[in-house]
Amino acid sequence: MTTKLNSPFKRELEVNGEKYTLTVMPEGFRLVLKGKRKGVELSWASIVGGDAALSTALNANFSSHRGMSGMPATKH
């Protein structure tokens, strides 16, 4: 049985030697370079809905953030 996501939680992760904070919320998630305020934020509805522009937006956001350009794209 899974646990319902009622409140945000944060986790630290390292990508290409740089630290990021991942915040998972009931509305979506946010990935921010540690110590910064702006990052990538996506809603679950955008991900589940398969918005046509989602892939383009993700690639633009990831490539514009330092340290994220080396992240591999995944397809499901």
Local confidence band at 69 (pLDDT 50, 70, 90 cut-offs): very low
pLDDT tens for residues 37-60?
Answer: 888 888 888 877 776 466 666 666
Q: Is the pLDDT at 64 greater than 90, yes or no?
A: no
**What φ, ψ does residue 45 adopt, rounded to 5°?**
-60, -40
Under 8 Å between Cβ of 25 and 10: no
User: What is the spatial order of strands in the sheet that 39-43 belongs to?
Assistant: 9-15, 18-25, 28-33, 39-43
Local confidence band at 14 (pLDDT 50, 70, 90 cut-offs): very high
Under 8 Å between Cβ of 16 and 67: yes
The per-residue pLDDT for 23 is 96
DSSP E strands: which ranges in 2-53?
9-15, 18-25, 28-33, 39-43
Residue ranges per structural domain of the chain: 9-52
- Rounded mean pLDDT of 61-75? 50
pTM of the predicted protein model:
0.65
